[in-house]
Amino acid sequence: MADATGGTGGTGSSGSSGTGGTGSGRSGSHDGVRAIVTGGASGIGAAIAAALQDRGATVAVLDLQPSTAEGFLSITCDVSDDASVRTAVATAVEQLGGLDVLVNNAGIGAQGTVEDNGDDEWRRVYEVNVLGAVRLSRAALPHLRASGNASIVNTCSIAATAGLPQRALYSATKGAIAALTRAMAADHIREGIRVNAVNPGTADTPWVARLLSTAGDPAAERAALEARQPHGRLVQAEEVAEAVAYLTSPLARSTTGVDLAVDGGMQALRLRPA
């Protein structure tokens, strides 16, 4: 069975701002919050950007591809390139008027055992999934120190906490993100900067849809992935976004160094067969 866990969003974005979010009615908790979301043009990243905006945040979406959603400042950014990251963050901070929240969501997937990918592929995926978060955090920290509600959230994965087949490279990058999150939380807590991670299970995203489309029997493959998660379905991007909204809320100031699982119980539960 091909595992479909992985791939959180793009690696950058360009475009313009528009007028509105999804209108969930949960406005207010993030009033005045200025946020950057990487990989925010699609999938989990787009859901995170919308959730923060719905709650009153002003959001800059950084992605390789333009965001077509209205209401966001959209900036082209390649997280594998330090100059691109620094330029994008500086542009976002200038237009937002400061920075309170960074969501390191940009990421790419990888399949195979430890034997199946050569050094170049390992470097390519690490450049995006790990060093991308490092570059964004490094560029954002000087601005976050000036915030009264500074928060970084890293999109991690169930692959960091459970051994999944055919996911050696991807799991290694997400394990690095989990460790980095805790280290950063320790480094920056006395600066008033909270650092947390969100760990989605296998999510219903465009990346997973593309992976399923290559399976011999896409319907059977999807059913197998759903059955693997204790709640019997794929995680929705909006569910991950809700977790990120909590972690970035000014009301969560005592929450730091946390890996928040949004995986239908996959990490913690061991159910007997039905």
Yes or no: say if 45 and 97 are a contact pair by the CB < 8 Å rule: no
246 catalytic? Reply is: no
Angle at 155 between CA 176 and CA 241, to 5 degrees: 165
CA 231 – CA 249 distance, rounded (Å): 27
Which helix (H) or strand (E) is 220 found in, with range? Answer: helix 218-228
CA 145 – CA 240 distance, rounded (Å): 26
Yes or no: say if 75 and 13 are a contact pair by the CB < 8 Å rule: yes
Using alpha carbons, list the distances in angstroms from residue 111 to 5, 108, 116: 10, 10, 8
CA 69 – CA 112 distance, rounded (Å): 34
Q: Which two tokens stand for residue 22?
A: 């999804």
Catalytic residue among 103, 170, 240, 260: 170
Strands annotated E in the chain = 34-38, 58-63, 73-76, 101-104, 150-155, 193-200, 259-262
CA 29 – CA 27 distance, rounded (Å): 6
Query: Mind telling me the catalytic residues?
Result: 170
